[in-house]
Structure 1
Amino acid sequence: MFSNSFLRQTATTIVFIDASLSDYQTLQAGIIEGVKSVIISPNQDGIEQISQILQQHPHITTIHILSHGSPGCLYLGNSQLNLTNIHNYTQQLQQWQRQNILLYGCNVAAGDAGEEFIRKFHEITNATISASTTKTGNAALGGNWELEVNIPENHGTSLVFHADTLKTYQGVFAPTLVGVWDRLSRAYAVTVVGNYAYAVGDTLEIIDISNPNNPVFKGNYDISNGRSIQIVGNYAYVADEYSGLQIINISNPSAPTLVGNYDTSGNAWDVQIVGNYAYVTDGNSGLQIINI
């Protein structure tokens, strides 16, 4: 989704907008003249996407990043940048060594976690970091457009949006609920493959999530207490706490069928499939290795 073909060598300010933001097109259209923008694809590592663009355009001095956030965490593409993994991205973040980086995600600088995250971000990039301790976005939803924290302290950097855009934008830059599927009385684990979510608890539920705002039931198979699931090809391998390993054919999502079971001696909690073997953690019975 992202493209850098339009970045002129004279542009010194760039805005990265995560496509997961509601109505991100309005934000992009509201950027002031002379500032370029890049949309971060939701299907790729957002840190990698930003790093690639910046590596190719060393003349950029100011970076604005619009994405969802939480204390000490940015959600970028299909990845997160947070206190736990920030040092894993040190090499990529060295491409971000510019004068100013503005982080618009909600609450990114809030609390002890936010303060430590911003400090580490500054240490790696050597940039002045501006970030928010509150919600960013629409005032009616509790948001504002102030970036309250600057490290090192300065007077901050001007925003890059037309005033009308800031007044009329209807969202906030925090994770928001877009869809719910609540048929299971207990839901313990989920895996997603293609357009389907496979959730386990008291049953295996197969849910069409091609429209995340409107998940649609496709099929189910009764199990006792599913704790973990892995999909390999046309089969779902379920660690079913009281019934061991359940192997379910899901080639027809509307009518899944049981094709195999191994009742482990303990309580099956997790399963991983590698080659012809299922590795099941089985409570007090340790690791069970099952030839499948």
Structure 2
Amino acid sequence: MTQAQLIAHYFSDSDNDNDMEIQPSIDNETLERKKKNRRKWIPLCTYSDKNDVIKKIKDGGIWSKTHTNITNEGKRTYYRCNRVKRRGKPCSDSIHVLHHSENECVTMYKTEDDHLHNESRSIGINQQSKEVICELFKMKIKSKRIPEILEEKSLPVPKKQQLSSYLISLRKTYYGASTISLGEIEAWCQRNSLIPDDDDKPWLLKYQIEYEDEINKDDDNDNGDHNDNDDDNKNKFRFFLTTRRLLFNASISYKIHVDATYKLIWQGFPCCVLKK
């Protein structure tokens, strides 16, 4: 419920936003200086639920909490404009919320000053740029091409690290985590080992999973010569995917072509492709 018109303006010291109490012993020069530093807070609206005002502040995306004061009227929480650096010259525009002590209502105040800084500090990736990047990602556009397309659309171009981090998050969202355990691979192999009715549906013809502890156990029980290659004692897996149609084509062919690629998946494991 909005009650801004019923609430009086509020004045505070701009240095620490404490209530102003002018003492008779203060000289005229000090009094004039404090008057110049006083902020005039204009009530914007009053909410019956504090979660509503918190959501409004978060949705704005430009306010960062600085400190809290306890006054006779209630708790006042102050927010600064985060479009400028905290240690630089502060923006004159700011807000604060009053949690009324006599009821559950919360009132939002704003200074009568406007934003005076010329350059806004970029925080994260622009929302419109994010939407375009997401669409380009779905179209499988290369990451090097994405900044060029954003410039062509006159949209803010994120930094290289920002773009890389966002693309990683998109891959995780659409394709799952970039890592998988050996146990998860074995479970996947077991689920896909049944021969399908569809001639073009891939299935697992053969797979082999070896765990490091099992390999070492076998070596301890073996009285023969041991292989000094450490790679032979690590986790191993291999699996062979095919389709019924490919197997039929292979059965009537006389030549085999084998090729390997190392960039098919993120981990860089080799993938061999056989063709007859």
Q: Is TM > 0.5 for Structure 1 vs Structure 2?
A: no
Name which one, 1 or 2, has greater alpha-carbon Rg.
2
Which has more helix, going by share of residues? Answer: 2
TM-score by length of 2: 0.21
Which has more strand, going by share of residues? Answer: 1
TM-score by length of 1: 0.21
